Amino acid sequence: MSRELNISPTIAGLLINRGIHTVEEARRFFNCKIEELSSPWLLGGMQDAVERILQAKKNGEKVTVYGDYDVDGLTGTTLLLEALQKLQIETTYYIPHRLEEGYGLNKDALENIAKEGSKLVVTVDCGITSVAEVKYAQEDLLMDVIITDHHQPADEKPPAVALINPKLEGRSTYYNLAGVGVAFKLVQALWEKAGFSPEQVFEEFLDIVTLGTIADIVPLIEENRILVKNGLERFASTKREGLKALMEVAGLSTSDINPRNIAYGLAPRLNAAGRISDASYGVELLTTSSSQKARELAKFLQNENQKRQVLEKNILAEAQQMVEEEFDFSRDKVIVLASKMWHPGVIGIVASRLVEKYYRPVIIIAIEGDEGKGSARSIPGFNIYEAIKSASKHLLQFGGHELAAGLSLASHNISDFKESINEYARIYLTDDLLVPTLLLDSEIFFHELTEDLLQQIKDMEPFGEGNPSPLLAYRGAKVVGYKPVGKDKNHLKMQLKAEGKALEAIGFELYSKAEVAATKEIDLAFSLEENTWQGETRLQLNIKDIQASNKSNFLQNTVKDCYMEPPFEEDLLQGQNYFLQGSPQKIFYNVMYFIVNALREGKRALIAGSIPSLTGSFFSAHHMLLSEMNMPHWFIKTSCLGEQLKKIADNFTQNSGIVFTDLYALKCAESKFLLENSDLIIFLGAETTDKKLDGIPILDEELLENKTVIINYIQEKNLKTRNYDIFLTQLDDILIENKKTVIYCTTKKEVMEVAKIIWNRYNIKAIYHHPWMTSYQQELALEMFKQGLVKYLVTTSTIGLDRLGFCEQVFFYRLPFDSVHYLYLMAGQEKQNLEIAIAEDANVNTGNMLEAMFPSRKTLSHIYSYIKKRNILDIKGCLNFLRSNGCPKANGETIKTARSIFQELGIEKNTTTKVDLHKSWRYRSINRQHEGYQKLLQILKI
C-alpha cells in the first residue's frame, strides 16, 4: 500500500487500523469522489416510499415532514421540505416541542396534522419505535406514514407504508448514516425519478447534509465520509443566508469551516432553540432567503445559546455536588441523578460533561410533575441502549444507540430503574472498561515527523467519529525546556529533542503534569499539527498525555524484550565462536538485538540459513523493524540475477548493513564478497553439531579470522517428545472449538482474507499480525493475544509459539515450506497435548506455491525446453506452457528463478551442452527446500 500509493508506511498503518486493507480501498478513501455514493435504491423501503410520495403529488395531497428537534432532525426536515416543495408538492413541516411533547411521534401532533389536511406524514430522524402512533395515524386518522430514521429498531416495527432505516439492513454501507443522511438518500431517489441530475441534488443540499451529519457525531466513514468531505467544500461557498448568518454570529469565516468548528461552533447555536424554546426557529433560519431575517434569527439563536450555557453551568455544578455526596463508587457503576430543578433541554450536555469527569455512564433525569425525562451518555465498550433496555420495565419510553440514549419514566420508578440498570452494569461493565485509555494509532520515530507526513495526514481528513485525527506515540523524548502558558497558566509548553531533531509541543490543560516533564525524558501521545505565530508556520506536537519514560529507546522495547538472557548477551559480546541450542524465537531476538548494535557501530553482518524459506521468514520478521531504524538490509533470493548481486555487493561493501541469504550462496564465486566483508556471521537452522552444515564446510579459519560465528540449531527430538493430535479440518470446526488458537498463513494477503472471514462471517473478534505492520503494531497484536484479550491470532509463519504464551490449538491454513521451519514454529510450547489442525487443501496449495517460488527439476526442464525450441524467452507464452504441463501456480518469480539458474550455469541462451543442475548453488538450495518440505509431510504423516 505504501509503495503503490506513494505514502509513508506510517500512513499505510493508520489506514489499516481504520479497516482499510487493500490498495483499492485506500484509493477510494483518499479520492472520496461524490460519484462513488451508493445507489439510494439499495435501501429497503425506498421504492414504496418514492411511489407513495409521487402518488401524493399526482393526487394533489398535502404532505407533512415530521422532524426531530436536534440539528440532525432540523437539517433533515429542511432537506425534505425543500426537496418536496421543488417537486411542486404541497409540503409543510412539524417539529415537536422538546419540553411539552418530547421526542418522536405523538398522537396529539398527528391529530393536528390531520386536521390541517395532510394525507401523508414523512418522518425524519424519528419514528422507528413509534408502533402505536403510526397505527393510530393510519387506522384512525387515515393518514399514511413513511418512516425515515437511523435509530435502533425495536423488535416490533411500526406498520408504516415504508420503513427506510439502515439499521434494518444489517451492516451495510449505509449503516452509519445520520437521520439527515437517510433523508438525503430518499431525496436522491425522488429527484432521480423526477428527472433531476445527481449534481443538482448535491448542489442544493450537501451543505446542510454535512451540518447534520457532523452535528450528530456519526462515524465519518463510507457514505458519511464522502458526503462530508465533498460537503465541506460546498459549505464554504453556501448560498444559504441562514448558514452565512450563523457563521457570522459564531465568529467563523469560510476558511474556518471544518468538522470541529461545525460541531462546536455552529451546531450548539442551532440546537439551542430546541433545547430551551422552539426548534422551529432552526428550520426557519435554514430555509429563509432573506439576509435580514437570517441575521435576526441567528442573533436570537445566539442569545438562546448563551442562556443554555448558563443553565448548563448551574446544573453541572449541582450534579457534581450530588455525585460527590451521594454516589457510591464502590457499589454502583452507572451514575443516575434526578432533580425537579433541572431543565430537560440541557441534561444531555450535562451528562456528557459528567462522563468526561468521572469516566463512567451517566443518566441525568429532569423531573416535572409525576414524570421524569432522562438523557444518557456512555463510555466505549458499554452499550447504554442495551443497558436501558434491560431495565425497560420501569420506563414509559426509551430509544437511542450504543453511546447515547433518551428515556422517560414515572418519577416513582427512578429508584427501581437506578438499581436495575446497575445490576446490569455489575455484570457487563467490567473494571477495565472504567479505566480511561488513549487508543494510539502508531508509534513513530522523530525523524518521520515532517511536513510531508503532516500533509499526508491532512489528506485523511475530514476527521471525526470513526476516523479520528491520528494519535501518535514516541518513547524516550528528551525535554529540553518547559513552561506554563495561557491566560491561566494551565497549558504546558515544551521543547523536545530526539534522534537529533528538535520540535515544539503544547499540551492544553496539561501543566498539572509539569512534574513529569521535569524528569527530562518522557513518553508522549500526540497529534501532529501546524502552528502559525507572527506569520511563521512550523510543525508542532499537540500533546494529549505524557508519562515518565520507561525505556531508553525504541529498540529496547521491541527487540531486547523479556527473552534477553544476560549470560547469553555476555557471551555474544566476548565474540566467541560457539553453538546455540534452545527456543529459536528467544535466540532470534537476542541475536537481532546484538546485530543491530553491531550495525550501529558501522559493522556488516551476514545471516545464512540452511533452507531458503527459513531465511526468508527471518528477513520478513525483521524487515519492518530494520526499515524503521534506517538499518540497510538486503535479501539474496535464489532468483537474484548477476546484476542484482553486483548491486547488493557494491552497497554492502561500501556501507554497514546486513545481508540475509542461503548458506549455499556462500559457495558461489559471485557471493565471495559476503564472507570477505562481513564482521559478524550467523548461521541459522543447522541440524548437526559438527563443523559442517549439510556437507558444506563453514569454519575456514583464514576467512573467518576475528569474526563471530553463531550456529543456531534445533534437533528433531524437540518434536518427537510432543504428543501431537494431527487432524484435517476446516475453519468452521476450528472456531466452534472456542480455543485459544493461532492460525498460520503464508502471505499477508491470506492473513487479511482469513481475518476478514472471521470478522464478517462469524462475527468473532480476532487479531491479525504480519511482518509488514509497524513494529509497534506487531508487538501490540502479539501482546493482546498473549494476554488473552483475543482468542484468535491470524499470522504468517514468522512468529513461533514461544513468543505467544499459552496456546491451545494451531491451525495451518497453509503449511510451512519445510520441516526446519515447522520445528522453529512449534518449539517452546509447554503444553504437551497441543492440537494441530491442517486445512484440507493446505498441502496442495502450499505445494503449488512452493513449486512457483522454488521450481523443481521438472519445472526447470519445461522452461529450458521452451527456451531451447524458440531461442527466446516469451514470459507470457512460457507461463501458459508451464500451466498446461502440470505447474498451475507458475508465475513471474518461477521464470526469474529459472533464468538465474541458467545464467549461473552459462546456458541462458540456447545450447546443446548437457546441463548439470547440481553445479548451481541456486538449484542446490531449491533441492534442499523441496527435501525439507517432503520431510515435513513425513513428520505430519500427510
Other CB atoms within 10 Å distance of the CB of residue 452: 11
> Is a pLDDT exceeding 70 seen at residue 566?
no
Other CB atoms within 10 Å distance of the CB of residue 191: 21
Give the pLDDT score at 474. 87
79 exposed, middle or buried (CB, 10 Å; 0-12, 13-18, 19+)? buried
Please work out, in degrees rounded to the nearest 5, the angle formed at the alpha carbon of residue 916 by the alpha carbons of 914 and 919: 145
The partner residues of 338 in beta bridges, in order of sequence, read: 365
Grid cell at residue 448: 518521520
CA distance 168 to 151: 10
Residue 213 to residues 129, 176, 206, 216, Cα–Cα distance (Å): 21, 10, 10, 5
SS3 labels along 290-332? CHHHHHHHHHHHHHHHHHHHHHHHHHHHHHHHHHHHHCCCCCC
Grid cell at residue 249: 454570529
Give the pLDDT score at 570. 43
Give the pLDDT score at 863. 86
- Strand, coil or helix: what is 461? coil
Give the pLDDT score at 580. 44
Q: What is the mean pLDDT of residues 661-668?
A: 79
Q: What is the DSSP letter of 464?
A: B
CA distance 270 to 75: 10
pLDDT confidence band for 399 (50 / 70 / 90): confident
- At residue 21, φ and ψ (nearest 5 deg) are -110, -15
Q: What is the DSSP letter of 157?
A: P
Q: Between 103 and 658, whose confidence is greater?
A: 658
CB-based contact 68:62 (threshold 8 Å): no
Q: What is the pLDDT of residues 116-172, one digit of tens each?
A: 999 999 999 999 999 999 999 999 999 999 999 998 888 899 999 999 999 988 767
* Sign of torsion over alpha carbons 624, 625, 627, 632: negative
CA distance 609 to 711: 10
Burial readout 115-143 (b: 16 or more C-beta within 10 A, e: otherwise): eeebbbbbbbbbbbbbbebbebbbeebeb
Q: What is the mean pLDDT of residues 457-465?
A: 90
Contacts (Cβ under 8 Å, ≥6 apart) of 831 = 806, 807, 808
Run of H or E residues at 64: strand 62-66
Annotate 328-352 with DSSP letters as a single string: -TTT-SSEEEEETTS-TTTHHHHHH
> Is a pLDDT exceeding 50 seen at residue 725?
no
Give the pLDDT score at 668. 75
Other CB atoms within 10 Å distance of the CB of residue 749: 12
CA distance 282 to 277: 11
Which has the minimum average pLDDT: 203-212, 521-530, 690-699? Answer: 690-699
Residue 881 amino acid letter: F
> Is a pLDDT exceeding 50 seen at residue 722?
no
Whole-angstrom distance between the N-terminal and C-terminal Cα of the chain? 37
Give the pLDDT score at 711. 56
Run of H or E residues at 282: helix 280-287
Give the pLDDT score at 875. 81
Of all residues in the chain, the percent with pLDDT exceeding 90 is 38
Residues found in the chain: 942
CA distance 33 to 531: 30
* E-strand stretches of 820-876: 835-839
Cα–chain-centroid distance for residue 835? 31
Burial readout 541-571 (b: 16 or more C-beta within 10 A, e: otherwise): bbbbbbeebeeeebbebbbbeebeeeebeeb
Q: Between 553 and 862, whose confidence is greater?
A: 862
> Is a pLDDT exceeding 60 seen at residue 552?
no
pLDDT confidence band for 795 (50 / 70 / 90): very high
pLDDT confidence band for 912 (50 / 70 / 90): low
Grid cell at residue 49: 416510499
Asked whether the whole model's pTM tops 0.85, one would answer no
> Is a pLDDT exceeding 70 seen at residue 838?
yes
Give the pLDDT score at 717. 42
* CB hemisphere CA count around 193 (13 angstroms): 22
Which has the minimum average pLDDT: 101-105, 211-215, 638-642, 912-916? Answer: 912-916
Q: What is the pLDDT of residues 66-83, one digit of tens each?
A: 999 999 999 999 999 999
Closest-CA residue to 527 (of 507, 556, 552): 507
> Is a pLDDT exceeding 90 seen at residue 114?
yes
Q: What is the mean pLDDT of residues 542-569?
A: 55
Run of H or E residues at 527: strand 521-533
pLDDT confidence band for 569 (50 / 70 / 90): very low
Residue 720 to residues 645, 717, 724, Cα–Cα distance (Å): 40, 5, 9
pLDDT confidence band for 691 (50 / 70 / 90): very low
What residue has cell string 429563509? 288
* CB hemisphere CA count around 452 (13 angstroms): 7
Of all residues in the chain, the percent with pLDDT exceeding 70 is 89
Q: What is the pLDDT of residues 484-542, one digit of tens each?
A: 999 889 999 999 998 778 999 999 999 999 999 998 889 999 999 998 877 788 899 99
Which has the minimum average pLDDT: 1-15, 307-321, 486-500? Answer: 1-15
Give the pLDDT score at 17. 77
Annotate 748-797 with DSSP letters as a single string: HHHHHHHHHHHHHHH---EEEE-TTS-HHHHHHHHHHHHTTS-SEEEEET
Which has the minimum average pLDDT: 255-269, 495-509, 757-771? Answer: 757-771
> Is a pLDDT exceeding 80 seen at residue 440?
yes
CA distance 46 to 378: 33
Give the pLDDT score at 684. 74
pLDDT confidence band for 779 (50 / 70 / 90): confident
Q: What is the pLDDT of residues 35-60, one digit of tens each?
A: 889 999 999 999 999 999 999 999 99
> Is a pLDDT exceeding 60 seen at residue 578?
no
Contacts (Cβ under 8 Å, ≥6 apart) of 233 = none
Contacts (Cβ under 8 Å, ≥6 apart) of 424 = 387, 390, 391
- Strand, coil or helix: what is 742? strand
787 exposed, middle or buried (CB, 10 Å; 0-12, 13-18, 19+)? exposed
What residue has cell string 454535512? 210
Q: Between 733 and 95, whose confidence is greater?
A: 95
CA distance 431 to 446: 35
Grid cell at residue 649: 555487493
- Whole-angstrom Cα Rg for the chain: 33
Question: Is the peptide bond preceding residue 462 cis, with omega within 30 degrees of 0?
Answer: yes
Give the pLDDT score at 708. 59
Residue 491 amino acid letter: H
Strands 604-609 and 633-635: unpaired
> Is a pLDDT exceeding 90 seen at residue 557?
no
pLDDT confidence band for 681 (50 / 70 / 90): confident
Grid cell at residue 369: 410533575
Run of H or E residues at 731: helix 731-737
Grid cell at residue 689: 553439531
Q: What is the DSSP letter of 666?
A: G
Average confidence score pLDDT of the chain? 84
CB-based contact 684:710 (threshold 8 Å): no
Other CB atoms within 10 Å distance of the CB of residue 470: 23
Give the pLDDT score at 676. 81
Contacts (Cβ under 8 Å, ≥6 apart) of 707 = 678, 679, 680, 681
Grid cell at residue 764: 468473532
